[in-house]
Amino acid sequence: MSYQIKTRDQHFQSTGPKRILAMDGGGLRGIFTLGMLKRVEDILKARHGGSDEFRLAHYFDLIAGTSTGSIIAAALAVGMSVDEIIEQYNRLGKKVFRKTLLRHGVLRASYSSKPLIQELQSIFGADTKMRDEKLQTGFLAVTKRLDSGSPWPIGNNPDGHYFNPRPGSKTIANGDYPLWSVVRASTAAPTYFAGERIAIAKDDKGDDAVSGYFVDGGVSPFNNPTLQAVMYATLEGYRVGWPTGSDNLLVVSLGTGSDKVTREVGDVEAANGLAALQSLMDDNAALMETLLQWMSSSPTAGEIDRELGTLKGDVLGGRELMNYVRYNIPLTAEYLKQEFGLDLPADQAKDIAAMDAPDNMPILQSLGTDVGKQLIKEDHFPTQFDLN
């Protein structure tokens, strides 16, 4: 290789420019993310000598994900190529998202967790812990602890406050959480899957005594985990301590496609509270993007709304905190036809943004590939962030 392959600790602790990759939640639309991610891998692989042994875990110092994004993030962090993940992801989608007559997602989760657990244990290993050296770079999964009502970003920073056992404490160290269970917690989307219990403390006999009940990180503000990843990397309390600045921090963010639609007033009025809850994730996504563009230098900056525009000329605090790129598109029939000439059958156009439709996976992967070729440019990865 034409560059040094770092260990996990070197990714966290070495000096020099740092690189963050973050991927949204969105169910099986993660295959769309993987289509775009292949373009990222191709650009960086060619930049670093073209070896088939190149991995995104070599380049990125922290790989973060929420929900389906956490599956992809963990797979990248253990050193898988994008093609390898696509193969595993297609298998997982077909096995996990099987509907039955007994599950409707109201009083009982729509899908059994057992196939998902089996697939995650197969991919990552049933005994792999968060501290395991199998994780070759920084990894962060965003989940929500529902019993305490708080978002829980769970990462593998070896200097983290809760990562290692503390003398006299009954708390189970984050580094001892099973990797598969952390990813499972991040993917436990309410109504789709039951939550995940993770043992967080022991009793006087040393037995697991206290468990937290975790659900999908998408029900926190961080379905797009990018801001949480930046906070994890730079805020003092997380003990990572990377410097900010457009020459110091490159942040690459990939979505799963936006399914925000405009509805008739009468339909919204009838739905009332439900419509408000469904729009909350859209509001969070808009706020995340506003903040990230406000904090950064971004060649991909998009229009926030017709009043704010792209925030060009607005910099929070007068100094750019990072070099930021974001890739995502609306998954509406009108947009896909106009921008990509994709004329979908009426039934498929209606359901293209569904999070649990395995039949959509081939077209979503192909679309992600096309979007990657159109939106992701070589100069979005400045040469000062190249490996050496």
Q: Please list, residue by residue across 289-311, b when 16 or more beta carbons sit within 10 angstroms of its beta carbon and e when fewer do.
A: beebbbbbbbebbeebeeeeeeb
Of 81-90, 128-137, 173-182, 197-206, the one with minimum mean pLDDT is 197-206
Cβ 316 vs Cβ 277: under 8 Å: no
Cβ 327 vs Cβ 255: under 8 Å: yes
Mean pLDDT, rounded, of the chain: 92
The 10s digit of each residue's pLDDT in 215-262 is 999 999 999 999 999 999 999 999 999 999 999 999 999 999 998 655
- Residue 149 in this model has a pLDDT that exceeds 60: yes
Residue 40: CA atoms inside 13 Å, Cβ hemisphere, count? Answer: 28
Q: How far apart are CA 177 and CA 264, in angstroms?
A: 46
pLDDT at position 107, please? 44
The 10s digit of each residue's pLDDT in 275-325 is 555 677 788 999 999 999 999 989 999 999 999 999 988 999 999 999 999
pLDDT at position 345, please? 82
Q: What is the DSSP string of 143-188?
A: EEETTTTEEEEEE--TT-TTTS--TT--BPPGGGSBHHHHHHHHT-
pLDDT at position 160, please? 98
| Domains defined for the chain, CATH in brackets | 8-385 (3.40.1090.10)
The 10s digit of each residue's pLDDT in 33-47 is 999 999 999 999 999
Cβ 67 vs Cβ 216: under 8 Å: yes
Cβ 367 vs Cβ 297: under 8 Å: no
Q: How far apart are CA 147 and CA 63, in angstroms?
A: 27
pLDDT at position 278, please? 62
345-355 mean pLDDT: 85
The pLDDT > 90 percentage for the chain reads 81
Q: Which distant-in-sequence residues (6+ apart) come within 8 Å of 288 by Cβ?
A: 221, 222, 224, 226, 227
Two tokens at 207?
């037995």
- Residue 204 in this model has a pLDDT that exceeds 80: no
pLDDT at position 281, please? 78
Cβ 295 vs Cβ 316: under 8 Å: yes
- Residue 164 in this model has a pLDDT that exceeds 60: yes
pTM over 0.85: yes
**Sorting pLDDT into bands at 50, 70 and 90, what band is 104?**
very low
263-285 mean pLDDT: 64
**Sorting pLDDT into bands at 50, 70 and 90, what band is 32?**
very high
pLDDT at position 264, please? 57
pLDDT at position 267, please? 57
Q: How far apart are CA 368 and CA 331, in angstroms?
A: 11
pLDDT at position 306, please? 94
- The length of the chain is 388
- Residue 166 in this model has a pLDDT that exceeds 50: yes
